[in-house]
Amino acid sequence: MGCRYFDAHCDTILKVAQTGGTLAHNPYHVSLERLSVYECASQVFAIFNEGNLNKFEILSLVEMIQKQSGDAFVTDYREVGNKKISALISIEGLGNQPGFTVDDIEEYARSGVKMMSLTWNQDNPLCGGIGENKNGLTHMGKLALDHMDKNNTILDVSHCSERGFWDMAEYWKNPIVATHSNARAVCNHPRNLTDEQLKTIFSSGGMVGINLYPFFLNGTNVANVDDVVRHIAHILSLGGENHIGIGADFDGIEVTMTDVTSADKMPILFERLLHDNYKESFIQRLFYGNFDDFFKKYEFFGQKTCIVD
């Protein structure tokens, strides 16, 4: 298959750890086998922590990803896309870890984690979550951002509270990424981003990954590529052509779309966009180029140190 594919967020590693199979071969939405249908594929494997994983369990999952992805594992942003398949690691819900200290960030970064989010839907010692949507970035959260900056780690703001988003947008001096969030103007769900948030991400030089969860696409449990195209069109209308990619949330969603049901089915969306007269050059950027460029450039974004008063 001629197209390339970059997905900024899937939860497959927890499925493998809890239910069985391997990253290479499994019955889930994402596997190295499914990704091999593409000319080139890059996948960020998220380690989701709802508060049940301690540091040693997280590091164990990091090691599992490293071992099971083998030669595909990427340790340098500049290596992304230089292989048939590139496997990267993120941590979702950094502050949910029992006993978390900001010094843990350096250990995670050293082990190969390239991206982190401070929270999931609930509040934690670092930041408020969108599920409660009251509190913002805490003093400890600022310290965490400082350590992430020093370790050249990408900040993911999907799931944070609105106040937390604006606090981080003001404090964080590097580009912002929302790996798996859609446009709230198209689907009024709290997990989706307002136009103001989207524009702020674009102006930071960051990225937004389109989420394929039906409830975030149209508010129901039934959706298809038509719903995805509506979000893409709206984000483009705000100036997001070079800041949009895919963050499918595969293996972290309860139901899939009716047509794109796994990572190897994404060409259905590719063909639909071609049918709707989107330029192939843009579709290639959406599917691969924008996130690929962003990760490679990020090697040079870091070391703009934030200082907590």
> For residue range 89-102, what is the model confidence (pLDDT) as tens digits?
999 999 999 999 99
pTM of the predicted model as reported, rounded to 2 decimal places: 0.95
- Determine the Cα–Cα distance for residues 122 and 227; give it in Å rounded to an integer: 28
| Cβ pair 152, 299 in contact under 8 A | yes
Max CA separation in the chain (angstroms): 53
pLDDT band at 306, cuts 50/70/90? very low
pLDDT at 72 over 60: yes
Q: What letter would DSSP give residue 202? A: H
Contacts 24+ apart (CB under 8 A), 19-22: 22/68
Q: What is residue 82's predicted lDDT score, i.e. its pLDDT? A: 85
Question: Phi and psi dihedrals of 148, rounded to 5?
Answer: -65, -40
For residue 173, CA distances in Å to 65, 105, 162 come to 30, 18, 18
